[in-house]
Structure 1
């Protein structure tokens, strides 16, 4: 990984691994695999009704306050006050509770099954008795297979048109044109759910608006913020931050505002059909495209720059200061780059 830490990690809860992650990558969000937690629960709590409660608390999109209330209700209902494993599990809520983790990006992954499936496939090519020469050859065959699968997935996403399922044709077609095949299916699922939602109120702020979204025959309420100047949306469910797809609540606001196409702010580049091509167009020599270290540096600079812009644009003094600083830095770096090109040409 060339010194670039991931934003999130999911493990089976191994103590040595946990200590290593804390020591080497202290800023990384560490999540425990839901499947391993439920398997451990089976040996410590044999009541199937408790397991249902635990699964719901692990995976459902509760508000933090609602999570706390339901946890207390579960403990009281099944008399788990003296269960040491339950008490220990609660102390680690920040590592498994979706209610507390939903603001962190995990790409929708909650278990280590993706990694284990990869290991199972690699095991078809290499094993403990494979010598080094054969390992290199077989592992290359394995990589070739995975690259072939990526090419097939790109082809299907680009060439196949999905069947539209809602009456929101323009918005749904926009998602089909932008998202990869697999991500469009999830987007389509959220879009279908908007039929049960309605926007009941709007509070106008100085630079943004807050829309109150409720679900039909339910007491659930979500707050969606919309900034017209940047066309940015955020929702209290934070699904956009954790999965990278617009939630049904944001989509309900888009429908209310009569959006015909998805704003670019709601299309994460990694889920876009154009992700590969955009990288090739930006870097025609392919140097950065294949160098994960350069890609990681670029992504880090973009993220930090985004945070600076978000913090400075509302304050006129900070805006002028940052604009002046960034303009000077852009000029300096361009001159440096041009000078380096001149030296190379000579």
Structure 2
């Protein structure tokens, strides 16, 4: 599955993948372990028809070999869901990162499935976790191997670029830029307190 999904863009063309919902539909079909085989075949044929890919030899070969890689054909195996190996988290999830959504309803469904088939739910949960980790892995790499761009020469901003992740630093940077546009407007004293009034410069 992982190797096949790696090739899909090259085999059908980057324009089709970029300008249409082909990838989303493709991944929804091939990763859905709840489909019956006949449902998969119907959805596959409709996908091929909708995007006029009847003459694509590679897709035709993949459909011919569908029983070797499509999850729908392994539903009856006791450990069929294990076919979603951790390789899936290495790249295939880049095509389907929007496919799994955790909702309260989904959570309750997971609890019910856990009671009925613990092995099934544990495997599906692990797959979802692998997907989430892969989706976030580019951010981890950027945080470990680069520093974000600075907008000022203020030491505080430089320090923030080192200690914060890129995502958090962007929020911090906005606060820094807002702060440097402010200045001291007035002073006051109340007993042992010194009060400083700060306002944004015009």
Interval of TM-score (by shorter of Structure 1 and Structure 2): 0.3 to 0.5
In the superposition, the TM-score normalised over structure 2's length comes to 0.41
Higher helix share: 2
